[in-house]
């Protein structure tokens, strides 16, 4: 009887490389942070003071772009350690009360600078957005 030995398979690492935020200045000379987003070519952009405030609360800097199922995508991050609960970064920055939505003045959901975010009410804002995007018949 012969003994057959097999080479042990190598351990496969399923860890992804860590995306590292970059600190820089915007065209107005304000301190901003460019946060790489999973599966996106462009980073999210926000003021450095907002980024630092988020980091002090324990929120991760590993963000992703997530579709809400109605053709709108948002930058989201995990909140709390060891949890799969996520929130939009814009809501964490602006901290609106329940029922208040956040709009993006330039339409770019990766631009999380506070001067690009605006608070509004849901249904009226949604109707306004729909009427602007649907061409009227002549």
**Fold entry, domain 22-133:** Homing Intron 3 (I-Ppo) Encoded Endonuclease; Chain A (3.90.75)
Is the model's pLDDT at 136 over the cut of 50?
A: no
Assign 3-class secondary structure to the chain.
Answer: CCCCCCCCCCCCCCCCCCCCCEEEECCCCCEEEEECEECCCCCEEEEHHHHHHHHHCCCCCCEEEEECCCCCEEEEEECCCCCCCEEEHHHHHHCCCCCEEEEECCCCCCECCHHHEEEEEHHHHHHHHHHHHCCCCC
Q: What pLDDT digit, counting tens, does each position of 64-96 carry?
A: 988 777 777 899 998 876 667 888 999 999 999
Domain boundaries, the chain: 22-133
Q: Residue 18: which pLDDT band, with cuts at 50, 70 and 90?
A: confident
pTM: 0.73
């Amino acid at each position: 009887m012969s003994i057959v030995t097999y080479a042990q398979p190598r351990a496969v690492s399923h860890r992804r490389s860590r995306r590292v935020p970059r600190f820089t200045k915007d065209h107005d000379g304000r301190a901003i942070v460019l946060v790489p987003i999973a599966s996106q070519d462009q980073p999210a952009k926000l003021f450095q003071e907002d980024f630092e405030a988020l980091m002090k609360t324990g929120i991760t800097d590993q963000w992703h772009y997530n579709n809400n199922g109605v053709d709108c995508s948002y930058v989201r991050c995990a909140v709390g350690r060891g949890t799969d609960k996520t929130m939009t970064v814009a809501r964490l920055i602006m901290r609106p009360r329940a029922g208040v939505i956040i709009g993006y003045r330039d339409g770019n959901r990766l631009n999380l600078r506070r001067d690009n975010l605006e608070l509004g009410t849901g249904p009226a804002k949604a109707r306004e957005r729909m009427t602007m995007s649907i061409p009227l018949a002549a």
